[in-house]
Amino acid sequence: MTITAKCEECGADIAIPDDAIVGEIVQCKECSSEFEVSSIAKGKVELKPAEVAEEDWGE
Amino acid sequence: MKLSITFDRLRQEEKWLVLEAKKLGCTTELVDVKNLFFDVTGKKPKNGFGDIVLQRCISYYRSLFLTRILENFGVRVINTSKVSEVCGNKLITSMMLAKAGILTPKTYVSLSSESVTEAAEALGYPVVMKPFVGSWGRMISLAKDPQTLGTIVELKESLANPIEHMYYLQEFVERPPRDIRAIVVGGEIVASVYRNAGGDEWRTNVARGATTSAFKPDKELTEIVLKAAELVGGGILGVDAMESKEGYMIHEVNNTVEFKGAQAASKDKIAKKIVEYVIRSAKQ
């Protein structure tokens, strides 16, 4: 069964990949907001807003 | 052996690295550094890190600070803070490359907006303006004339960060609409790709829509890439080169190399090579 979580921004369902792990970034397909998986337990996933790109991000 | 992979934004690359490490029988932990704090005047935390740390933070300053802290506690980190300092600052990279006789674009640095116009005139238009710290082609501008330069300078002067009020200018190098990314791991090129600029874009960063295609580097390119990698301190690096009229020219060396594009294009097992190198380094 696919796990989903609610988008904090627009309320749409975000499908969480089966192999998702804590720390991974997921994106809402409806509004493009990015979230970070903060916990996964018993088929329930918690999300928090992902950090926004800073000037020093990169390689 | 225990490997800690530190991150602040988990990407496909980090997941591949964990997978390969597990296949190689290495106990691996992913450490989200955003959750950490340290007594930097105290002793190494008891629940500290593994035998070696693979630094994969996406934020340059966060990565540099953490590496410094861990090294101070005696933890081995790849890449080292020295490598991070050289590669993370384009001013230092350019100076080192030139001093070592490695062909690199002519670079002028102006310490305030008062001298930037004169610097651009001396260098000759068009000039490429780059931030001292930054990646993915972000904020890299091409000024074809003094008017464009003036507009860019005006915009940069309005930014709050004082580093934006100094200027790094480079000659615009005539080259095919592509550059080269060579991924170097422990003194060996493990993958090399052309980065073909996308659409009307002149920048060749994958983040700016460039597409990648694998190729086998010739002797001349291999030599200059490995020389540049060794010069900055070695480790796991992304060396960027251009095919200029004078020969291969190195314009950047990246410290926390992203390899998703290169891996897709080359089918090389880059993550495996990285983990093997890290394990080798931990045993030395």
The CATH number covering residue A43 comes to 2.20.28.160
Q: What is the pLDDT of residue B263?
A: 85
Residue of A nearest to B31 (CA): A23
Q: Which domains does chain B have, with CATH numbers?
A: 2-86 (3.40.50.20), 106-171 (3.30.1490.20), 175-268 (3.30.470.20)
Token output for B190: 């493990």
Q: What is the pLDDT of residue B14?
A: 95
Q: Mind giving me the DSSP string for B129-151?
A: EE-SS--TTTT-EEE-SHHHHHH
Q: Give the span between the Cα atoms of B170 and B107, in whole angstroms.
A: 4
User: Which of A19, A36, A57 lies at the smallest CB-CB distance from B59?
Assistant: A57
Calculate mean pLDDT across residues B118-126: 98
Per-chain mean pLDDT for chain A:
92
Report if residue A57 sits inside a domain.
no
Q: Is residue B267 over pLDDT 80?
A: no
Q: What is the pLDDT of residue A1?
A: 64
What part of B 114-133 touches A (C-beta under 8 Å)? 131, 133
Contact flag A58-B136 (C-beta cutoff 8 Å): yes
Residue B32 at interface with chain A, using a CB cutoff of 8 Å = yes
Contact flag B10-A21 (C-beta cutoff 8 Å): yes
Calculate mean pLDDT across residues B74-82: 97
- Quick check: helix, strand or coil at residue A38? strand
The pLDDT-based confidence of A47 (bands split at 50, 70, 90) is very high
Give the domain extent around A28: 3-49
Token output for A34: 């990015």
The per-residue pLDDT for range B269-284, each reduced to its tens digit, is 899 999 999 999 999 8
- The rounded Cα B69 to chain-centroid distance in angstroms is 21
Token output for B194: 């052309």
Token output for B167: 């200027």
Report if residue A59 sits inside a domain.
no
Calculate mean pLDDT across residues B61-81: 97
Q: Is residue B261 over pLDDT 90?
A: no
* CB of B184 closer than 8 Å to CB of B226: yes
Question: Model's pTM, two decimal places?
Answer: 0.94
Contact flag B133-A59 (C-beta cutoff 8 Å): no
Calculate mean pLDDT across residues A30-54: 93
Report if residue A33 sits inside a domain.
yes
Burial class (CB in 10 A: 0-12, 13-18, 19+), B83: buried
Per-chain mean pLDDT for chain B:
95
Q: How many domains does chain A have?
A: 1
- Report the range of poorest mean pLDDT among B100-109, B129-138, B204-213: B204-213
Q: What is the pLDDT of residue B200?
A: 85
| ipTM score above 0.90 | no
Among left, alpha and beta (phi > 0; psi -120 to 50; other), residue B232 is alpha
* Residue the block writes with tokens 């080798």: B280
Q: Of how many residues is chain A composed?
A: 59
* CB of B248 closer than 8 Å to CB of B242: yes
Calculate mean pLDDT across residues B75-104: 98
- What are the residues facing B110 on neighbouring strands? B167
The per-residue pLDDT for range B197-212, each reduced to its tens digit, is 888 888 888 888 888 9
The size of the A-B interface in CB pairs under 8 A is 56
* Sign of the alpha-carbon torsion through B252, B208, B111, B122: positive
The closest alpha carbon to B243, from B177, B168, B197, belongs to B177
Contact flag A21-B15 (C-beta cutoff 8 Å): yes
Report if residue A20 sits inside a domain.
yes
β pairing state of B52-55 and B2-7: parallel
CA angle B264, A58, B154 (to 5 degrees): 130
Give the residue, B201 or B162, on which the prediction is more confident: B162
Report if residue A11 sits inside a domain.
yes
Using a pLDDT cut of 70, give the percent of chain B over it. 100
Report if residue A42 sits inside a domain.
yes
Cis peptide before B79 (omega within 30 of 0): yes
* CB of B84 closer than 8 Å to CB of B255: yes
Report if residue A21 sits inside a domain.
yes
Report if residue A31 sits inside a domain.
yes
Mutate to test the interface with A, among B14, B59, B164, B205 (most CBs of A within 10 A): B59
